[in-house]
Amino acid sequence: MFKKLDNVEKRFEELAGELSNPDIVSNQANFQKVAKEHSSLTELVTTYRRYKKITKDIADNKHILENESDDEMRKMAKDELVHLETELTNLEQQLKLLLLPKDPKDEKNVILEIRAGTGGDEAALFAAELFRMYSRFAEGRRWKVEIMDSSPTGIGGFKEITATISGDKVYSSMKYEGGVHRVQRVPKTEASGRIHTSAVTVAVLPEADDIDVIINEKDIEVDVFRASGPGGQGVNTTDSAVRVTHIPSGMVVVCREERSQIKNKGKAMKLLRSRLFDQKQEAQDAEIRKTTKSMVGSGDRSEKIRTYNFPQNRVTDHRIGLTIYQLDQVMEGKLDEFITSLRTHYQSEAMKSSS
C-alpha cells in the first residue's frame, strides 16, 4: 500500500509542477485535464502526508520514553502517544478507503425515474411525495431538477415521473436510492382507518454522454403526437410530444413536458442514451457478480430497500438495518444520514472484497 502511496505522491508533485508550466497553462484543455487529475489526488496525498507526520511523531515520543529520565517529559510523551496511535489507526483506514477504485459514474448527473407500483391511487400519491423529497434533497445541495416526462393523476399523484438532476457528483449520492420504496399509512380515502401498504419503484440512471453510448439515426424511429394533461395550451394543441423507439433493443421513451418538439426530442434522446448505458452497465455488473459471487452495491431494483411507516413516523432501510424515527424530516429531503450510512456500508464491503 505504501509503495503505491509513494508513487501517488510523486505523481501529485509532478502535476503541481505542470500546473506552473507556461506551455501547459496556455493550452486550456490540457490545463483543465492536469488540474482535474491534481485535484483528484489532493485528499489522498494530504492524508498520506499527515499519516507520515504522525508516524514520525510516534517514533519521536517512543524515543523520549526510552531515553528521557525526566518523569514529566515521559508522562507528556506517553499521553501524546495514546492520541497519536489512535489518529494513526484512523488515518490508515481512511487511506484504504481513498485507495479503493473510484466509480467513474460518481461524477455524473442522474436521470431519476419514479413509478407507482402496487397500491393504486395511494401509490401514485406517494410517487409524487418521493419526487418532492428528492427535489428538496437536491435543492439543499444546490442541484438542478428538471422534469423530462410525467403522467399525473387527477388527485395530485404520478403514475410515473422522470427528471434529470444535475450538479456536483450527483450520482455518488443518489446511486443508493434505486429499488422498491414501500409506504405504510392510512389513505385519506379510507373511511375505516385501516393501514394500507403500497409500493413505488425508483430508478437512478447515470446520465450518459455521447461518448458513453453512440446511437445511429437508422436505429431509431421518432413519432410525434399531441400531449395531453397539464402543461398549458401550447402543449395540448400542438404535436410537440415525442416518442423515440430504439429498434435494436425495443426500448421506447416518451417526452412531452416541453412545448418544443425539438426540445422534447433532445430530452428523449438523453433519456434513451442513459437507459441504454444503464442496461450495458447492469449486464457488466451481473457478469462481475457471477464471477466474484459478490452482491456488493448491486442496486437490484426489484429489492425492497426502504419502508416509510407514517403512523410510527419511522423510516427503515432494510439493506443496512437503519431505522430513523423522523419520517417527517426525511420527507422534507433530510436524507443525509441514510446516504452517509449506505456509503460507509458499501465502502466497508468493498474493502473486505479487495483484501
Single residue among 73, 98, 123 that ends a domain in this structure = 98
Q: What is the pLDDT averaged over residues 16-21?
A: 90
CATH number for the domain that contains residue 42: 1.20.58
- 83 and 141, same structural domain? no
Domain stop point among 98, 132, 148: 98
> Residue 271 in contact with residue 148, Cβ under 8 Å?
yes
Residue with cell 517514533: 59
What CATH code is carried by the domain that includes residue 310? 3.30.70.1660
Q: pLDDT averaged over the chain?
A: 85
Shared domain check, 41 and 63 = yes
Same domain, 40 and 129: no
Q: Are residues 85 and 37 in the same domain?
A: yes
Same domain? For 94 and 186 the reply is no
Summarize pLDDT for 200-239 with one digit per residue, the tens.
999 999 888 766 777 888 888 888 887 665 444 444 456 7
The total number of structural domains in the chain stands at 2
pLDDT score recorded for residue 355: 57
Q: Check whether residue 51 and residue 167 sit in a common domain.
A: no
Rounded Cα distance, 202 and 3, in Å? 42
For residue 323, the SS3 value is: strand
Domain check: are 78 and 110 in the same one? no
Residues 126 and 15 in one domain: no
Q: Are residues 38 and 91 in the same domain?
A: yes
Q: Cβ contacts of residue 208 below 8 Å, gap of 6+?
A: 270, 273, 274, 276, 277, 278
Range of the domain at 297: 104-354
Look at residues 206, 178, 182, 210 and name the one whose alpha carbon lies nearest to residue 281.
Answer: 206
Please choose, from the candidates 170, 163, 161, 112, the residue with its C-alpha nearest in 3D space to the C-alpha of residue 143.
170
- pLDDT range class, residue 52, cuts 50, 70, 90: very high
Highest averaged pLDDT of the listed ranges 37-41, 207-211, 345-349: 37-41
Looking up cell 407500483 gives 117
The mean pLDDT of 171-175, rounded to a whole number, is 92
CB 181 within 8 A of CB 204: no
Asked if 176 and 291 sit in the same domain, the reply is yes
For residues 310-319, average pLDDT: 95
Hey, which of 32-36, 92-96, 164-168 has the most confident mean pLDDT? 164-168
Determine the average pLDDT of the residues in 314-324: 95
Domain shared by 77 and 146, yes or no = no
Give residue 266's pLDDT. Answer: 83
Select from 70, 98, 126 the last residue of a domain. Answer: 98
pLDDT score for 158: 94
Are 215 and 109 in the same domain?
yes
Q: Above 50 in pLDDT, residue 325?
A: yes
